[in-house]
Structure 1
Amino acid sequence: MAAEPERGPLPFEPKRKRKKAADQPAPARGQKAASRPQSFRNRPDTQIPEVVSRRMLKRMLVFSGIPTSLGVAAFFLSYFLLVRHIAELPNVAVFLTTLGCFGLGVLGLSYGALSASWDEQAPGELLGIQEFRDNFGRLTQAWRDSRKARQSRTDKES
Structure 2
Amino acid sequence: MSSERPRQPLPFEPAKSRKKASKAQSQSAEPETTDKPPVRATRKTREKTSAQPAPKRSTQREETAIPEVVSQRMLSRMAILSGVPLFMAISIFVGSYFIIVNEVFILPNTAVFLASLGCFGLSVLGLSYGIFSTSWDEDQTGSLVGWQEFKLNLGRTVQAWKDARRESRAKIKN
Q: Which of the residues 77, 90, 99 maps onto 1:72?
A: 90
Question: TM (normalized to structure 1)?
Answer: 0.73
Q: Which of the residues 129, 151, 157 maps onto 2:169?
A: 151
From the superposition, tell whether residues 132 and 98 of structure 1 become closer, same or farther in structure 2 (CA, over 3 Å). Answer: same
- Summarize deviations over 1:89-145 as a string: whole Å, max 9, x none: 100000000000001101111110111000011000111100000000000000000
Q: Equivalences for 1:65-144 in 2 at 5 Å?
A: 65-144=83-162
- Summarize deviations over 1:17-53 as a string: whole Å, max 9, x none: xxxxxxxxxxxxx87xxxxx96237743111100000
Q: Which of the residues 62, 70, 73 maps onto 1:44?
A: 62
Gaps of 5+ in 2: 1-15, 18-54
C-alpha RMSD of the superposition: 1.7
Whether 2:78 is the aligned partner of 1:60: answer yes
Supply the distance in 1 between the matched residues of 2:56 and 2:160 (Cα, whole angstroms): 24
Look up the equivalent residue of 1:78 and give its one-letter code: S
Supply the distance in 2 between the matched residues of 1:84 and 1:41 (Cα, whole angstroms): 62
Question: TM (normalized to structure 2)?
Answer: 0.66
Alignment match, 2:7: none
Gaps of 5+ in 1: 1-29, 32-36
Supply the distance in 1 between the matched residues of 2:79 and 2:107 (Cα, whole angstroms): 30
Supply the distance in 2 between the matched residues of 1:130 and 1:52 (Cα, whole angstroms): 16
Percent identity between the two aligned chains:
50
Look up the equivalent residue of 1:154 and give its one-letter code: I
Supply the distance in 2 between the matched residues of 1:41 and 1:152 (Cα, whole angstroms): 27
Supply the distance in 2 between the matched residues of 1:98 and 1:127 (Cα, whole angstroms): 25
